[in-house]
Amino acid sequence: MMNCDLTELNSEADMAYLRQTFAIDIGANEEEACERFEQILLDSYKSSLKTRFDWFFHAVNHIKS
């Protein structure tokens, strides 16, 4: 993945974070990994006012189109 030119994935530490987030290191199956990732996303969304505004305006923009 580091060869994909994604600036967010340019080190081994970034890859280790992804493995931890998706619970790959503990042998989670795809469903468990998806649930874990969804929970992390929801936690992030709930804790950030900037993210809430961002999603709000994103939704408003799609309603207009």
Task: Give pTM, 2 decimals.
Answer: 0.45
Q: Where are the domains of the chain?
A: 2-64
Tell the burial category of 22 from Cβ atoms under 10 Å away from its Cβ (0-12, 13-18, 19+).
middle
Q: Is the pLDDT of residue 1 over 60?
A: no
Q: Angle at Cα 24 formed by Cα 17 and Cα 37, nearest 5°? A: 65
CA distances from 20 to 14, 15, 40, 42, 58 (A): 10, 9, 12, 17, 29
End-to-end CA distance of the chain: 34
Q: Give per-residue pLDDT as tens, 3-50.
A: 566 777 778 888 888 777 777 667 778 888 788 888 888 887 777 788
